[in-house]
Structure 1
Amino acid sequence: MRFFIPILIGRILRALARARGGGSAYPGYIVLKLVPNFLQHVTKQFPNGVVFVLGSNGKSTTTHMISDIVRAHGLRVFTNPSGANLPQGIASALLSEVSLTGRLKADIGILEVDEAFAVELAGILSPSTVTMLNVQVDQLYRFFETERVATMMLDTAALSSANVITNHDDQFLDAYSAVDGQRVLRFGASDEVIAAAPNGLQNADDFATSAERARTTADAEVIAHTGDGATIRFDGADIPVRLPARGLHYAVDAAAATATASAALGAQFRADAVTTAFGTMKPAYGRGERLPIAGESAEFTMFKNAASLQLNLDALPDHPEQVLMAIDEGTPDISWIYDIDFSKLDHVDVVSGDKAWQIAIALEHAGVRIGRVEPDVEAAIKHMEQLGATTSGTKNFIVNYEIMMIARKALGHPDMEKTA
């Protein structure tokens, strides 16, 4: 009964937050203050353990992929679908699933976790599987060095009780060695697939590691990729998948998800269930998601750093017809924007957000025509609505996380949790 009152309070706060038009980590914060061991108590109930997903980019997408694959095997999944990857966010997400007595009906927990809190959370939640996606240049105002982020991930992986899934194409992460009887699986893309990508995989370089590393085959390897289709070679089988969005990075995420699901499911794993899961998989919110706008679709391309912007631009069709590009203070330092290859864009119809003029200068420098600079996001969306129809039926929104949430709300889709 000691959980009854805190969970009831948390649920009331959560309902109030959602009534205002969105989710909030505040209910989880309050529950953890009232019952500090709430996370430990609930997550110990998963018979198939807890999976952590870490990485500079791709956490939400890969968590979404793993969850759908595991569901295709008939298991009940708890996950944090809105990307709430801090302790209070995970606790808040649990409030929608747990009973007032603290019981949870789920077979496995699959959690996106912020790297800075991963070691702390691993001590609390005891993950059975840790998946490390990539180390890319991101949030240097917060982490200072990419090597520091790699260390956080590697330290977390060492705390996994059974499995570690790591990126064969990442110099920082491929060096991981098993401890205490762990099973290590590696994922990646073939040399041929990477060579065909306009700007590679964008992983950060470990300059202390020789560039002439011996190349071996990954356990789960992307051997073919075209648009939103890919083939993953895993455990002697070639698994065809339809990706939820375009881009090589999504194919590599799919390989990571396949290896992770196999490790978590053990003998239950079936390759055909992977193809089935991807066949009906929807995009994780904001990542290739399409929402109605003026009788057409707004296709969201979300980024937060140079690597994610470049990989997503590389996946675009040449010279999309209508483009909105927006960044706000959620991405504090965008000096990296001058390193971006903008050749896929011949124009941008409207530039928006708090950093609209900074984007405009970078686009001008790259020779990309700009139709309008409108810092107000809602006004910029109105402008996109008034541009008229496209031949493709698609208006491209290239935005960071915070702008994505504002745009979704402006288009009538504020509740991200229902998109999972």
Structure 2
Amino acid sequence: MNFKFFIALIISKILSLALQLRNGGTALPGLIALKFEPDFMAYFQHQFRQGIILVSGTNGKTTTTALIKELVFNQKLNVIHNAAGSNLLRGIASSLLKSSDWSGKIRADWGVFEVDEATLPSAIQVLKPKIVLILNLFRDQLDRYGEIDATAQNWKKSLETLSAETFVILNADDPVVALLGKNLPAHVYFYGLNDWEHVHKTISHFADSIFCPSCRQLLVYDAVWYSHLGIWCCQRCHEKRPLLDLAVEKIKLNPILSLTVALPDQPKREIQTKLGGIYNASNLGAVLLISSILKIDSAAVQKVIADFQPTFGRLEEFTYQGRRVKILLSKNPTGFTESIRTLLYGKKKNLLLVLNDKIADGTDVSWIYDVDFELLKDVTEKIIVSGTRAYDLALRLKYADLKTIIEPYLKKAIQQSLANLSNKETLFILPTYTAMLRVRKILKGRSLEN
């Protein structure tokens, strides 16, 4: 065993044990290990008996990864998973540390890891995955990631290094993601939506990838599901949405999600879930395609998805002071708008919107002007806003002709929101990432912040 690896392992495991006693610092042990030995994770890569699955994309990573993990675990296989949502290399390294013994040995069939968009190329290089799933690509934290074209180029270069034994799963509805599959050595599979009841007539003003990634011509859409995702083609170079290996059909959104999936030469299957939103219909398509590749029994898949509970701020539900609270993480224009769309059904809602501008949120909050807040006129009559940029958010909502109450202090904002609720009503909180961590800490009494 490499001496640097051994020292990194021992120090980081001691730190990990200490932090577990304090319920904090999920990524710190991995950060320390990588500082001591930059190749730390390479020592674990070959120990997975069946391989590693990496899941990346702007929106939907945490829920999708958790579902895949549950499907694999349900097969009585050992799985290592970065469950706390720490999706940089340090977070994955911490998960490996937690699962290893003091000699650096792990006993796992699969590794299922959520991976940050900017980290994906490095993760591919180090972990040599068996399956890579890319969900979508939207603007998010421009001060950190830059424009989406740069991210896509980095992804393409890393995907080209994969072996012919690797499976790459791509969202055909996203033109930038779909065209990553061209001329790859790996096996490439596509999933997408095929439900004309949920088509938008026009592409939204905040859509990101409306130009052909190959020739920069304006794309033509036969159908738009949300943002720039839909049935698309280029009339100049004739690129178009690839044929689907799995199609998601007959989507029902009120109040929770059900759908039908179609695979070639297989009977159609109806899926019920506690998740919501058209975006989760797409995510479920990805999960179901992977389950098909792994040859997991369809009845077992349906049960796991039906029983799956939303986690870590993604439609996660709490009971706090006798009242029901739901959190919908909303961290970029597309994600925030789709969170709002999930609330359009049923009675008027009680809303608390929380905008922070810490590094993990993106320090530039101008993106809020690309959120379709005008939809909230059909959702609520009064909104409480909070967070480090509460006043910026209140101004944006004023332009949308919405009434707001400003309470910058989050705990007070939650208390004020709950005071307006009857016992049978639910408070819906739509926070950015660091605000979500803080909300969870208040509601749950502990924090998973790094």
Instruction: Provide TM-score, normalisation by structure 2.
Output: 0.85
Counterpart of 2:13 in structure 1 is 11
Label 1:269 to 1:160 Cα distance change in 2 as closer, same or farther (>3 A).
farther
1:160 is aligned to 2:155: no
| Number of equivalent positions | 412
In percent, how many aligned pairs have the same letter?
29
Q: Which range moves more in the overlay, 73-82 or 4-13? A: 4-13
The one-character-per-residue Cα deviations of 1:341-384 (angstroms, maximum 9, x if unpaired) are: 232333344210001001101111111121x2111111211222
Counterpart of 2:244 in structure 1 is 218
The one-character-per-residue Cα deviations of 1:55-96 (angstroms, maximum 9, x if unpaired) are: 111111111121122223332211111121111111112222
1:204 is aligned to 2:235: no
SS of 1:57's equivalent in the other structure is coil
The one-character-per-residue Cα deviations of 1:188-210 (angstroms, maximum 9, x if unpaired) are: 10151540699779563234155
1:333 is aligned to 2:352: no
CA distance in 2, matches of 1:57, 1:360: 25
CA distance in 2, matches of 1:252, 1:234: 15
Counterpart of 1:246 in structure 2 is 276
| Residue 240 of structure 1: how far off its partner (Å) | 2.3
| Residue 153 of structure 1: how far off its partner (Å) | 2.2
Label 1:304 to 1:271 Cα distance change in 2 as closer, same or farther (>3 A).
same
Counterpart of 2:352 in structure 1 is 324
Counterpart of 2:187 in structure 1 is 183
| Residue 226 of structure 1: how far off its partner (Å) | 1.4
Counterpart of 1:23 in structure 2 is 25
1:102 is aligned to 2:113: no
Counterpart of 1:291 in structure 2 is 318
SS of 2:113's equivalent in the other structure is strand
Q: Which range moves more in the overlay, 349-358 or 143-152? A: 143-152
In 1, are the aligned partners of 2:190 and 2:242 still within 8 Å (CA)? Answer: no
Q: Which range moves more in the overlay, 149-158 or 245-254? A: 149-158
Instruction: Provide TM-score, normalisation by structure 1.
Output: 0.90
Q: Which runs of 5+ in 1 are unaligned?
A: none
| Residue 337 of structure 1: how far off its partner (Å) | 1.8
- Within a 5 Å distance, the mapping from 1:142-153 to structure 2 comes to 142-153=144-155
Counterpart of 2:412 in structure 1 is 379
CA distance in 1, matches of 2:278, 2:197: 8
| Residue 308 of structure 1: how far off its partner (Å) | 0.4
1:404 is aligned to 2:445: no
- The residue type paired with residue 83 of structure 1 is G
In 1, are the aligned partners of 2:194 and 2:247 still within 8 Å (CA)? Answer: yes
Counterpart of 1:363 in structure 2 is 397
In 1, are the aligned partners of 2:437 and 2:447 still within 8 Å (CA)? Answer: no
In 2, are the aligned partners of 1:171 and 1:209 still within 8 Å (CA)? Answer: no
- The residue type paired with residue 150 of structure 1 is A
Counterpart of 2:259 in structure 1 is 230
Counterpart of 2:71 in structure 1 is 69
Correspondence for 1:273 among 289, 300, 304: 300
Label 1:21 to 1:140 Cα distance change in 2 as closer, same or farther (>3 A).
same
Correspondence for 2:422 among 364, 373, 389: 389
- Within a 5 Å distance, the mapping from 1:111-130 to structure 2 comes to 111-130=113-132
SS of 2:269's equivalent in the other structure is strand
Counterpart of 2:237 in structure 1 is none
CA distance in 1, matches of 2:19, 2:197: 45
CA distance in 2, matches of 1:240, 1:198: 29
SS of 2:120's equivalent in the other structure is helix
| Residue 181 of structure 1: how far off its partner (Å) | 4.4
| Residue 233 of structure 1: how far off its partner (Å) | 1.7
CA distance in 2, matches of 1:252, 1:413: 33
- The residue type paired with residue 315 of structure 1 is T
| Residue 304 of structure 1: how far off its partner (Å) | 1.0
CA distance in 2, matches of 1:416, 1:352: 21
| Residue 49 of structure 1: how far off its partner (Å) | 0.9
SS of 1:176's equivalent in the other structure is helix
CA distance in 2, matches of 1:199, 1:250: 19
Label 1:269 to 1:407 Cα distance change in 2 as closer, same or farther (>3 A).
same
Counterpart of 1:256 in structure 2 is 286
Q: Which range moves more in the overlay, 192-201 or 140-149? A: 192-201
CA distance in 1, matches of 2:414, 2:432: 15
The one-character-per-residue Cα deviations of 1:99-157 (angstroms, maximum 9, x if unpaired) are: 11111121111111122222222111111211111111222222321111112222232
Label 1:65 to 1:203 Cα distance change in 2 as closer, same or farther (>3 A).
farther
| Residue 250 of structure 1: how far off its partner (Å) | 0.6
Q: Which range moves more in the overlay, 382-391 or 51-60? A: 382-391
In 2, are the aligned partners of 1:79 and 1:109 still within 8 Å (CA)? Answer: yes
SS of 2:248's equivalent in the other structure is strand
SS of 1:289's equivalent in the other structure is strand
Correspondence for 2:309 among 276, 282, 298: 282
Cα RMSD after superposing both structures: 2.4
- The residue type paired with residue 263 of structure 2 is F
- The residue type paired with residue 385 of structure 1 is L
Label 1:340 to 1:33 Cα distance change in 2 as closer, same or farther (>3 A).
closer
The one-character-per-residue Cα deviations of 1:368-407 (angstroms, maximum 9, x if unpaired) are: 121x21111112112223224254x311011111111111
In 1, are the aligned partners of 2:349 and 2:380 still within 8 Å (CA)? Answer: no
Correspondence for 2:340 among 271, 288, 313: 313
Label 1:388 to 1:149 Cα distance change in 2 as closer, same or farther (>3 A).
same
- The residue type paired with residue 352 of structure 2 is L
Counterpart of 1:57 in structure 2 is 59
